[in-house]
Amino acid sequence: MTTQAATPKAVNTQIERAHPISRLRKLSWQDWVVEILKYSILISLAITFLLPFYWMLSSAVKTDTQVYTVPPIWFPASPLWNNFWDAWNSENFWLFTYNTVVMYAVPATIGSVLSTALVAYSFSRLRWIGRDAVFAVVLATIMIPGWVRLVPLFIIFKKMGWLNTFLPLVVPSFFGSAFFIFLLRQFFMSIPTELSDAARIDGANELQTMFRVILPLSIPALAVVALFTFMDSWNDYLGPLIYVNIEEKWVLALGVQRLRNAVMEIGNSKLAYPYLMAVSSIITLPIFLAFFFAQRTFIEGISLTGIKG
């Protein structure tokens, strides 16, 4: 066999890829202006996005007087790092964290992933009469505002005796979410049906096919559902405010609200605002780390859910 000689254009392209500096040298001054303008806009937007987070962190290590100083102090000379520990122990945030993670966020995430996976598998891989019509009805529920369901759900949960428990917050997640069902359905439909057929030929039933074939191939999409559900539960304020009135079952959002009220009360605490920023920084950190370490899986799941519909 003979191989064709590479064309000069292909060789030049390979050289430019191997040596990006040589490609930059060939740019005209118009191209340089475009590149500089593009990266200047991107850097400006990045700074604008990160500025509130920096202000939150810097305010957490200031005194209350330094926070309200005009012009603002961007770099405190003597940062009070103990504000984080003192602020976290100013309220029962250890208990609030336990309630948020163990009693609310983790069960809700497990329920959401399992329920949406089952429903999405039925809509994408099984054929039954009225499937598309039912799926359209499920999608239509996305347009129902949560405020419309608030009072009826409160009355139902009150009659069931679920108030001041985590059941009103966790149990609904085991009945699926229309948005997540749509997301997983799109991903499942992108998986070749030959894999499911091969599993059925080997004697697997539908549940075995889903758990052993489909779900292992859908880790990115499942990660998106899990991360979104965990974030919603972690940041949820309205649900616990309505259904939980016992302080022993408060979540982090309610604890932060108490600190915010302390800031509004003049003379309540000399470090009220720095404490609020310190607790807010600690609460924001887990979500930031979760997205940072799972960003590749997260972005992959988002991008692949629209391949086939």
State which residues form the domain around 196. Answer: 91-304
Confidence category of residue 20, pLDDT binned at 50, 70, 90 = low
CA distance 197 to 220: 23
- Domain membership of residue 146 (yes or no) is yes
- DSSP readout, 120-165? HHHHHH---TTHHHHHHHHHHGGGS-HHHHHHHHHHHHHHTT-TTS
pLDDT value for 30: 76
| Among the ranges given (150-164, 173-187, 190-204), the one the predictor scored with the smallest mean pLDDT | 190-204
- Tell whether 3 is covered by a domain: no
Domain membership of residue 117 (yes or no) is yes
245-283 pLDDT, tens digit each: 898 999 999 988 888 877 665 544 555 788 889 999 999
pLDDT of residue 118: 94
Quick check: 3 pLDDT over 50? no
Listed in sequence order, the DSSP H helices in the chain are 8-18, 20-25, 29-60, 64-67, 82-90, 93-98, 106-125, 131-140, 146-159, 167-170, 178-189, 193-201, 206-209, 219-235, 238-243, 252-264, 272-293, 295-304
Asked if the structure places residue 251 within a domain, the reply is: yes
Say which DSSP state 203 is in: T
Say if 18 falls within a structural domain.
Answer: no
Q: Residue 129 falls within a domain, yes or no?
A: yes
Going by C-alpha positions, the residue among 248, 252, 249 that lies closest to residue 236 is: 252
What CATH number is attached to the domain comprising 300?
1.10.3720.10
Q: Is residue 17 part of a domain?
A: no
Q: What is the total count of domains within the chain?
A: 1
Determine, yes or no, domain membership for 48: no
Compute the distance between CA of residue 282 and CA of residue 100 in angstroms, rounded to an integer: 14
